[in-house]
Amino acid sequence: MKGRLSWICHGPTRANREGRFPGDEPLEAKALERIQLPSGLATVDRAWTSPALRARQTAAACGLDVREELSFRECDYGRWQGRPITELHESDPEALTQWMLDFDAAPHGGEPLSAVLARVGDWMKTHIGDGGHTVVVTHATIIRAAILHVLQAPPAAFWTIDIEPLGIVEMTSDGRRWQLRFPNAAR
């Protein structure tokens, strides 16, 4: 049994553009006009989305019939929600540094990144035997966590992965392990 898992990062939002910790904001209007499901993702057996508005809007714009999955929700940034990262660099650099270096820390009063890594890893373990093609529309944070899970990389590697809005990451499973997949764009 072979399964394919395509992760799609939601489209661009104002928070992306302004470097803010996100809330439940909508996609930018221009994003809705240009979103379409890539032809390589035409055959989908099941699709999930984060409950966040921006992920649901992206899935709808792609024409996907999705179910919401709490495992794919964005990290809860607590008091930092809506705040620019640059502002935190100036007003509370110790807390920001602590959060980035200690994955169990939650100085913002929200969710530690270790909890995000655990919930994504748990979902991937549960669905490793799924056959067919699964598509997940979610957040860069969740996709980074999935990549770390596949590579069995240390948490610090989280900060070395850049997922752009509407970026796609492909994975496959043989029922025993997940693998990153880099499809040939020339096909």
Q: Domain limits of the chain?
A: 3-181
Share of the chain above pLDDT 90, in %: 87
Q: Mention the CATH class of domain 3-181.
A: alpha beta
Q: Is the pLDDT of residue 3 over 60?
A: yes
Q: How confident is the model over 175-186, as pLDDT tens digits?
A: 999 999 988 765
Determine the average pLDDT of the residues in 154-181: 96
SS (H, E, C) 111-136: CCHHHHHHHHHHHHHHCCCCCEEEEE
Note the pLDDT of residue 79.
97
Note the pLDDT of residue 186.
53
pLDDT mean across residues, the chain: 93
Residue 96: pLDDT band by 50, 70, 90 thresholds? very high
Q: Is the pLDDT of residue 12 over 80?
A: yes
In 3-state terms, what secondary structure has residue 180?
Answer: strand
AA identity, residue 148: L
Q: Is the pLDDT of residue 26 over 70?
A: yes
Determine the average pLDDT of the residues in 59-79: 95
Strand 67-68 to strand 3-9: parallel, antiparallel, or no bridges (unpaired)?
Answer: unpaired
Q: How confident is the model over 112-131, as pLDDT tens digits?
A: 999 999 999 999 999 999 99
Note the pLDDT of residue 55.
97
Give me the residue label for tokens 């939002």. Answer: 13
pTM of the model: 0.94
Contact 8, 166 (CB under 8 A): yes
Q: How confident is the model over 35-52, as pLDDT tens digits?
A: 877 766 778 999 999 999
> What residues pair up with 3 in beta bridges, in sequence order?
132, 173
Contact 9, 166 (CB under 8 A): yes
Cα diameter, the chain: 52
Smallest Cα–Cα separation from 140: which of 105, 113, 108?
A: 113
> What is the rounded distance in angstroms from the CA atom of residue 45 to the CA atom of residue 178?
18
Note the pLDDT of residue 1.
55
Name the strand (E) or helix (H) holding 18.
Answer: helix 14-18
Within 10 A of 175 (CB to CB), how many other CB atoms are there? 11
Q: Is the pLDDT of residue 13 over 70?
A: yes
- Report the b/e string of 48-84 with b at 16+ CB within 10 A: bbbebebbbbbbbbbebebeebebbbbbebeebbebe
Note the pLDDT of residue 185.
63
Beta strand extents in the chain (DSSP E only): 3-9, 46-49, 67-68, 132-138, 168-173, 178-181
Q: Is the pLDDT of residue 32 over 80?
A: no
Note the pLDDT of residue 37.
72
